[in-house]
Amino acid sequence: MLSFWTAEPVNDLRQCVVDGKSAKDTAAILSSRYGRITRNACISKSHRENLKFRGDAWEHRRGEPKPRKQYRAKRPGSRRERVAVAPTPPPSVSQADHDIPVEQRKSLLELDNHTCRYPIGDVQDPGFFFCGAPEADVLEHRPYCARHSRVTRSKAYVLTDAERDRRRRWANKLNSGMTA
């Protein structure tokens, strides 16, 4: 991509800044001489060249820092006084979750599309596992088994045969379009 910022337009930009012209006026002058040069292009180039137009909007950020606002101290006993709240403990693992057979329990890497993804325990605990019940089906939008769907209060999403056929036809249509 060719740049219109050759030596001549840059020198004219510097001269306009020295003369105290605004970015809008500079853009009009440079556009009449070199073609379409916008105000934003002039501002960007002036920043890269460490030039400052008069009335630079960023001038206040280069000088002394602005004084911070002073806030009134809170009165003791006021309604807005912060109260320390103890963190809520993680939900406890129910006895029913501990009764899941060991051969059914899955780690993250052992999950597949047909196993329940309900987490049991604390992630940082070495005894953490997923339910792994084979009745779930991620492709059918059922990530949990029926028991854990009730626990999460999500409806057990069961597709009707007509809806399942419609989705399969749609997926086949997509797949056939991708291979063509």
The answer, as to whether pTM is greater than 0.95, is no
pLDDT for 118 equals: 87
Q: Of the ranges 55-59, 90-94, 161-165, which is most confident?
A: 161-165
Instruction: List the single range of 46-55, 60-69, 117-126, 156-165 with lowest mean pLDDT.
Output: 60-69
Instruction: Tell me: pLDDT of 95 over 70.
Output: no
Distance from C-alpha of 171 to C-alpha of 168, rounded to nearest angstrom: 5
Tally of CB atoms within 10 A around 115: 22
Q: What's the pLDDT at 28? A: 92
The whole-number average pLDDT for the span 12-27 is: 89
